[in-house]
Amino acid sequence: MTLTREALTDVAAIAAAAPHTQVRLGTSHGAAVVIGEHPAGSMCIDGFRRLMAAWVDGCEPQVDSVDFVGGIYEAGMLTCGESRLFATRLSAQETAACLRERSDWPDKAHAVVREDLLLDVSVVQVTSDVLDADALDAAARDAQAACVVEELCREVSAA
């Protein structure tokens, strides 16, 4: 299944927020494009961000798969060690407010929000040095879901 421009924009923003990231994009033609610091790299991560920001409407990306080297990228979230990263269309302030409203947020989980003004998204990094992987996954998925709901509510109210 071909990824959307929005999904690739999220990948670019997450890659920029994850230090020392390498990303392999699998194309619909069977080729792989390497992004990041690598001898076989096609472009740097910042170049990928600029490409996604300048994307021309009407052109569909021909990318079928995304593989973060050293991490697992699934359902819009990068799992990399003790970090979980996802992108949202909310501003950093809106994202922080949305996450503060989570009454069931685990005390031992921490969220850092970075706004990517070039891509017009924010990236949330959820970490914990105390929670086990399952609890950290649950906290990050809950935060991601809360942001998606807030995005949808804002779209509906703007319509």
Determine what percent of the chain is predicted with pLDDT higher than 90. Answer: 74
pTM of the model: 0.93
d(CA 15, CA 66) in angstroms, rounded, equals: 11
Place of tokens 């990928």: 48
| Residue type (1 letter), 52 | M
**pLDDT given for residue 147 in this prediction:** 96
d(CA 110, CA 15) in angstroms, rounded, equals: 20
Give the H or E element holding residue 95: helix 92-100
**pLDDT given for residue 71 in this prediction:** 94
d(CA 16, CA 34) in angstroms, rounded, equals: 14
**pLDDT given for residue 79 in this prediction:** 96
How does pLDDT run across 73-96, given as a tens digit for each residue?
999 999 998 999 999 999 999 999
**pLDDT given for residue 105 in this prediction:** 86
**pLDDT given for residue 109 in this prediction:** 93
| Residue type (1 letter), 67 | D
**pLDDT given for residue 21 in this prediction:** 85
How does pLDDT run across 41-67, given as a tens digit for each residue?
789 999 999 999 999 888 878 899 999
Query: What are the residue ranges spanned by the domains of the chain?
Result: 5-74, 77-158
Domain 77-158 in CATH 3.30.70.60: yes
The residue-averaged pLDDT of 88-107 equals: 92
